[in-house]
Amino acid sequence: MAKIHKKGKSGAAINYVTRNQALKKLQVSLADFRRLCILKGIYPRDPRNKKKANKGSTAPTTFYYHKDIQYLLHEPVLHKFREYKAFAKKLAKVMAKGQYSTAKSLEENNKPVYTLDHIVKERYPTFVDALRDLDDALSMLFLFATMPVTEKISREVVEDCQRLTAEFQIYIMKSRSLRKVFFSIKGIYYQAEIKGQTITWIVPYQFAQAVPTDVDFRVMLTFLEFYRTLVGFINFRLFSEINVVYPPKLDLIKYEGAAGFNALILEAMHRQAPGSEKEVEAEVAETQKEVSAEDAARMKASEQRLKTLGSKLAELQGSADTDRPDEVMEEETEEAALDEFKAAAPTNAEVDGDDSMVTLSQIHAASTEVQKLQNLFSRCVVYLSRETPRYALEFIIRSFGGQVSWDETVSSDAPFPENDERITHQICDRPKQGHRFLSRTYVQPQWIADSINSHNLAISDNYAPGAMLPPHLSPFVEAKEGDYVPSAEVEEVEEEFEGETEDINPDDVDDLDEEEVDSADEDEEDEEVTAAAPKKVKTDEHEAELQAEAAGIAFSEYEKEAAPKKTTSKKTAAGKKRTAKEIEEEEAKELASIMMSNKQKKLYTKIKYSQNKKSEEVAKLEKKKQDLAKAKSGANKRSKK
Amino acid sequence: MRDRRTGNGFKVADTSATKSNGAKFVRKETNKPDTLKSEPVKSNKRTAPAEEESEDELEDFGDVDIDIESDDDEEIQEGDVDDSDGDIDEFPEENEKDQDENTLVGEEGEEEEEEEESDDYMAGDSLDEEDWNEEVKTSEKKDSDKPDRLPEIEADYDSDSSTEDVENTVGKVPMEWYDDFPHIGYDIDGKRVLRPAKGDELEKFLSTMDDPDSWRSVAVDKEGKDVVLNDEELDIIRRLQGGDIPDAAYDPYEPTIEWFSSKKEVMPLSAAPEPKSRFIPSKWEAKKIMKIVRAIRTGRIVPRKPASEKPRFYNLWGDDEQPREDHIMQVPAPKMKLPDHDESYNPPEEYLPTEEEIKEWEELDPEDRPKNYLPQKFNSLRQVPAYNRFIQERFERCLDLYLAPRVRKNRLNIDPDSLIPKLPSPKDLQPFPTQQSISYEGHTGRIRCFSLDPVGLYMVSGSDDNTVKLWEISTGRCLKTWKFDSVIHSVAWNPNRELCVFAVSVGHGNVILIAPPRIGSPEQTTLTDQYFQQGYAAMSTAGDDKDAKNPIPWVKPSEEDQENLGYRVQLSHTQAVKQITWHRKGDYFATVAPDAKNLAVLIHQITKYQSQAPFRKLKGLVQRVMFHPIKPLFFVATQLYVRVYNLMKQELLKTLQSGVKWISSLDVHPGGDNVIVGSYDKRLCWFDLDLSSRPYKTLRYHSQAIRQVTFHKRYPLFASSSDDGSIQIFHGMVYNDLLQNPLIVPVKILRGHSVVSSLGVLDIEFHPTQPWILSSGADHTLRLWT
């Protein structure tokens, strides 16, 4: 006899625990439990069958995965929470007695301190895992870096956020890993690519944040606590990968002068052995900074003997020469990339033959594309007028290889003044410019984002100060079939209008009627052509039909096969006949749908419903666009008259 | 003056201070034991009263002082007098003895006392001071003696009242309780204490006049007699009346003496020597401190060491990264939705919402809004304001991350067309009717029924306008019209090709067999005539008993009707006949009159002019009946079931369970093994009789009730008509191979009939030879589809 399975002893009944059960098991308060969940990344589950998971009850409850809770039992942070509770009691007692010195020593010596290092490692076993989950962390840190210090948000937190974000931005700039920028009404979206992971984050525009009252900052700060740890470790790793000492030192004078991420002093890391990244010797870097150019040359000579460190020296020099660290980096990466391809190409060709060659060329194309993008602004020397968002633009331009300066009033340490002759572009956001230099182009900030998103420097005339800007499109939208693509339509419509205006202006006839008449004429002509064509083909067709019948192919199938040939022959006459064919097809679908099972029918209607909704939206947008275009052309005509 | 109790304590010190010579005093004390040894105990006792004496005197003096409230001088004088008196009166002997003692034991003492006195006088700087000292002394003495003295007074009092040993023991109860009794309580032996006799008012008055103390006597209820207050008590009363402190001895304005002041006294208050520990540093403390010092020196304790020397961040992911294996219960957090074009600060203009859209968006609940922002356009980046819900959105994202249950949902990314089953193309299944070719118009009511002749040349139709019309199918010409006086329910043409007869069900149960005149070939007409004459002959030979057997009468119509209208015979049912159906050979036909109970289904035989009710009792309301095309089987469709009877064996063969709610129509495949059933609940069921009693396929495609289903006699076609005004043509191929399921392919939907008062196509029938279908509708037309 088969084993009797008792109810509630296996499956969903033991896989899930309700929140209250979890609290009871862990012996913590709800607030602590929530903090733990946030830190450990534990989230509620939705069991497939709620009744089975909740002893037959269908009352609305939150379920957690049983094993998640089980693991929490051994969590060191949980023990620290308990210790903290005891500590808080002690402290309260002492404070109530007024023994402030005892309280102070308690605070100094006995306060339980917990770290989240192990949780970061546990949640993200590999570095790439951590990078994958960086979006929320970065958005949160960038938000809190702009938050005002209140009684809930301490100064340390805000400063830490500012520092971490600055460090991350430095890495992005140095590694040139920014890919997309989008100015939205909510803030600026950035997308970077680090180790093949796309990381997207949003930064609010640089305004003082109004702290809302309907937000529970305890929750946000708990998240922030974890994110700070996470981003700190990620920054460490990223910095060590570009051979820069972490944490970078803060130049207090620059920091006071609102230099932003420029206030951090980068120092090259001296490696003793290739494997030991941990051993950071900032002192070595410092001494090398002091070394004069001659010393550097001598050192170069000596270190060339150790061939492996050759490139690193160049890097050290680069960091010593603070003005252009990025350029050196760029050269280095380029060289490396070229080397790789030279080395890889012949071997692959030998082994795999033609197929691999294709992929190789694709890879090469992709990498050159990326490189091109990384050096998009490398020949640009940009000056930011004081009304532009300096930190954002500086970050963007420098991550694409450009050189940036800004107005002295914005912050103190501008690399070059406004009248520098090297300046090629000046970003300004005012309709009128007082003094214009002829040697440079004046553009609006959108030019930068559009250039990046289109991977080419955009035509600057469209972005001149005071000009009506072309629409700024999201680079994150990947148009699928049936989606509305605004940019494509723009061109088509423009072409149409050009044609129309040409036709109409000499004749002074109502444009729409004219167009319709034209199209009708064309149709007729086309039909004549098609009528002539079939006669020639007819005899061939008959033979083919007979052959097909002999081969046992159904007539309809034969027709389908033959159809493309026909359509190619009567390309232009498709208009009306296609509709008839469409009707037929639709009918066939309708008929076939009779034979669908109930389940399939439901699914079919659901899919169709969503498709229809989408196409309706697209149609709505298209109609709006047409209306707008009509209104515009009407206005143009009136102005011409 | 000081408090009484402390007064006793300080007495010694005071005296020592005032008398200035402590040693003397000591010696005096040392004398006492001597006296005790030499004298009997009494003497000791005596000494105390001796002291008392003097104090007594003082007390008296005090009393006088209070009483008289005179000057101090007088007090002293009087006190002096009293002193001498008291002494002499009370303890004359003792005094002597004392003196004796003094003389005997210590002359020195006396001398010294004298000396002391002389010293006092000598030392006295001023009279005032001395006076003051004296006063202090006396008052102290008086105070200390009070408790000793009181019993004396009471002794007096006792001596007064010692004669009467009666004592009331009632306790503290209101004495008015005893007002009505002769006694006022009980003494200690439990005997009544009688109320002392009281004289009348005159006596009382006289006694007050006699007694000088009457003014200070008070009536005491408990004892029932007057008590005379003494001077002290009077004094207290007086003070209370005057609002003073009742104790005369208490001085509220006593000058304070600051014993513990900032002024450094030469002499210590306490004579105890300072302990040594106060001068020597603690050994244990030193040990403890040295322990810490040593620990610091050796570096075991680091004072004020920095919080942590470890760097906050390090290479957390070493080189030995091990990716976690995917687990079904680990669902990574979904990424944020990336912004769309309309979130741009400068979107294409078509994305900007119109005013109606803005209004609609604002009216929606924030949860229901498809997007949490309204697209806006700014001319330059400079004009873009701060987004006021930025923090809230981040917060909502946080909440989603830790409060929202995560479920892995597989998005079905399939082409909807792939769900449509692959069926052979209708084009390959031709021929079937595809379009309407002829519309037969002439009826003025809805056409409930029609029937084609077995060859397919003619058609009769019965309508709600009480007429039956005969049409030529190919031309659409109406050849003849029969007018009746009530609604036509059903018409059915005899399937026998040699005859030319059809049956019509009119009104309330009349079924008329009509051989339309001048239609059909002459052979057909003669054969038909013979057929019916044969029937009449049979009826006449059968006689009365046969007549009795017939459940319904067969009536011969009039000659005129026979001649003009072609009526042959008339059957009158008890209830309206809804359906007439012929056996394939054309001799039998069955009628259905659903309301006629056990006569609902009748089978009539023309050759014998005979009717029979095959079922003694019928279960359910009969909807349709049908003869099997080959076998002697009979199908009866009630509301829910189709029952198959063998007419030869007279038994139930099978019950087909349709699963529909109300069967409307039924047809049998010409092969005889398949049955289709249409229902008012829009379903069509295909039964394979060999397979099961449940439907092989149930299709639901009409949007309204199915009215009629029918098979084609030759082609693999079947059709259904519905109240939605459409006719659905199917290719229904039945294979001879029993293992192969019938192939059902929908091939065409014919639309043309209009729906009138929610009735669409009421009847359909395939052409017997051609792949055509005819239909009749509620819109008063008949249509031919080819």
8 Å CB contact of B324 and A182: no
CA distance A98 to A104: 11
Between positions 262 and 291 of B, the ones with CB within 8 A of A are none
CA distance, residue B328 to nearest chain A CA (Å): 12
Residue A88 Cα, gap to closest chain B Cα (Å): 20
The span from the CA of A436 to the CA of A433, in Å, is 7
| Among B305, B308, B313, B744, the residue to mutate for chain A (most A Cβ within 10 A) | B313
Q: Which of B338, B355, B425, B720 to mutate to test the interface with A (most CBs of A within 10 A)?
A: B338
Sheet of B447-452, strands arranged across? B447-452, B458-463, B467-472, B477-483
Of B394, B405, B428, the CB nearest to A140: B394
Surface of B (400-419) touching A: CB under 8 A:
401-407, 412, 414, 416-417, 419
Q: Give the global pTM.
A: 0.61
Please list, in sequence order, all residues whose beta carbon lies within 8 angstroms of the beta carbon of residue A248, skipping any fewer than 6 positions away.
A167, A170, A239, A264, A265, A266, A267
Task: Please name each of the domains of chain B with its CATH number.
Answer: 4-161 (no CATH), 429-785 (2.130.10.10)
Rounded to whole angstroms, the Cα distance separating B193 from B186 reads: 5
- With beta carbons under 8 A apart, name residues in chain B contacting A472: 344-347
Which residues, numbered 381 to 400 in chain A, qualify as contacts with chain B under a Cβ-Cβ cut-off of 8 Å? 387-389
Angle ∠(A232,A233,A237) on CA atoms, nearest 5: 120
Structure tokens at A291: 């070394």
Contact (Cβ atoms closer than 8 angstroms) between residue B222 and residue B185:
yes
| Helices and strands (H, E) in chain B, number of each type | 14, 33
Partner residue opposite A445 with nearest CB, options B351, B381, B388:
B381
Torsion angle of C-alpha atoms A51, A55, A56, A58, degrees rounded to 10: -60
Taking CB atoms and an 8 Å limit, are A204 and B405 in contact across chains? no
Find the closest chain A residue to B324 by CA distance: A125
Which tokens hold the place of B48?
């105390």
Q: A501 and A494 in contact (C-beta within 8 Å)? A: no
Closest residue in B to A476 (Cα) is B338
Taking contacts as CB-CB distances below 8 angstroms, the residues of chain B near A220 are 394-395, 398
Tell if the CB–CB gap between A556 and B417 is shorter than 8 Å.
no
Query: Are residues B390 and A608, on separate chains, in Cβ contact within 8 Å?
Result: no
Decide if A237 touches B, using CB distance below 8 A.
yes
For residue B308, what pLDDT is reported?
Answer: 67
Binding-face residues of A in 567-626 toward B, CB within 8 A: 587-596, 600, 603-604, 607-608, 611, 621-622, 624-625
Give the domain ranges of chain A: 12-74, 78-109, 117-263, 381-463
Residue A331 to chain B, least CA–CA distance (Å): 28
CB nearest to A183's CB, from B314, B344, B350: B344
B321 contacts A595? CB cut-off 8 A:
no
Chain A residue at shortest CA distance from B683: A594
CB under 8 Å to B624, separation ≥6 — which residues?
Answer: B579, B581, B592, B635, B636, B637, B663, B665, B666
Distance CA A448, CA A35 (A): 42
User: What local confidence, expressed as pLDDT, does residue B393 receive?
Assistant: 94
Distance from CA of A282 to the nearest CA of B (A): 13
Q: Helix, strand, coil proportions of chain B in percent (round to 5)?
A: 35, 25, 40
What pLDDT is recorded for position B92? 41
The domain defined by A381-463 carries CATH number 3.40.50.10190: yes
Query: Which of B473, B475, B522 minimizes the C-alpha distance to B493?
Result: B473
- Alpha-carbon gap: B660 to the closest alpha carbon of chain A (Å): 16
The answer to whether the CB of B386 falls within 8 A of the CB of A207 is yes
pLDDT, mean of each 10-residue run, chain B (786 residues): 39 37 37 40 40 42 39 42 41 42 42 42 42 46 46 50 63 85 86 80 84 82 78 91 89 86 82 87 94 92 74 87 86 91 92 92 90 91 92 94 89 81 84 90 91 91 92 90 91 89 90 85 85 80 60 83 83 90 90 87 87 86 92 92 91 91 93 92 91 89 92 92 92 86 89 90 92 92 91
Say how many CB pairs under 8 Å bridge A and B.
272
Give the closest-approach CA distance of B338 to chain A in angstroms: 6
C-alpha torsion B649→B652→B653→B655, nearest 10: 170
- DSSP-assigned letters across all residues of A146-169: TPPP-SSS-HHHHHHHHHHHHHHH
Question: CA of A355, closest CA in chain B: separation in Å?
Answer: 30
List the beta bridge partners of residue B504: B491, B512
Chain B residues touching residue A207 (CB < 8 angstroms): 385-386
Residue B717: strand, helix, or coil: strand
Considering just the CA atoms, what is the radius of gyration of chain A in Å? 34
Cβ <8 Å between B312 and A232: yes
ipTM of the modeled complex = 0.77
Q: Is A276 on the interface with B (CB under 8 A)?
A: no
Q: Which two tokens stand for residue B555?
A: 């009536």
Residue in the block written with tokens 């039956």: B468
Token pair recorded at residue B698: 């149930």
Nearest to B322 among A43, A125, A554 (CB): A125
Alpha carbons B340 and B344: distance in angstroms, whole number: 8
Residue A470, SS3 per DSSP: coil
Span between the terminal Cα atoms of chain A, in Å = 97
Give the C-alpha distances (Å, rounded to integers) separating A623 from A513, A562, A626, B630. Answer: 19, 37, 5, 65
- Tell me the pLDDT tens digit for each residue of A612-628: 999 999 999 999 888 88
Judged by CB atoms closer than 8 Å, whether chains meet at B419 and A596 is answered as yes
∠ CA B232-B237-B242, rounded to 5° = 125
Does A215 contact B395 at a Cβ distance shorter than 8 Å? yes
CA distance to partner chain A, nearest, from residue B401 (Å):
7
Nearest by Cα to B677 from B692, B654, B661, B690: B661
Q: Does A168 touch chain B (CB under 8 A)?
A: no
Which B residues in the span 691-750 are in contact with A, Cβ-Cβ below 8 Å?
699, 701, 728, 744-749
DSSP label of A307? G
The answer to whether the CB atoms of B399 and A555 lie below 8 A apart is no
> A80 and A112 in contact (C-beta within 8 Å)?
yes
Query: CA–CA separation, A325 vs A287, rounded Å?
Result: 18
Q: So what's the pLDDT on residue A553? A: 65
CA distance B308 to chain A (A): 11
CB B689 within 8 A of CB B629: no
The pair of three-digit structure tokens given for residue B753, joined into one six-digit string: 């009939």
Report residue B435 CA to chain centroid gap: 64
pLDDT along chain A (641 residues), means of 10: 83 91 94 94 91 88 94 93 95 95 89 93 92 95 94 93 94 94 95 94 92 93 96 94 89 80 81 41 39 44 45 45 43 47 44 55 87 90 91 93 89 85 91 85 93 90 89 90 70 40 39 40 42 50 68 62 50 57 83 85 90 91 89 82 65
The answer to whether the CB atoms of B405 and A237 lie below 8 A apart is no
What is the reported pLDDT for B157?
52
pLDDT at position A548: 67
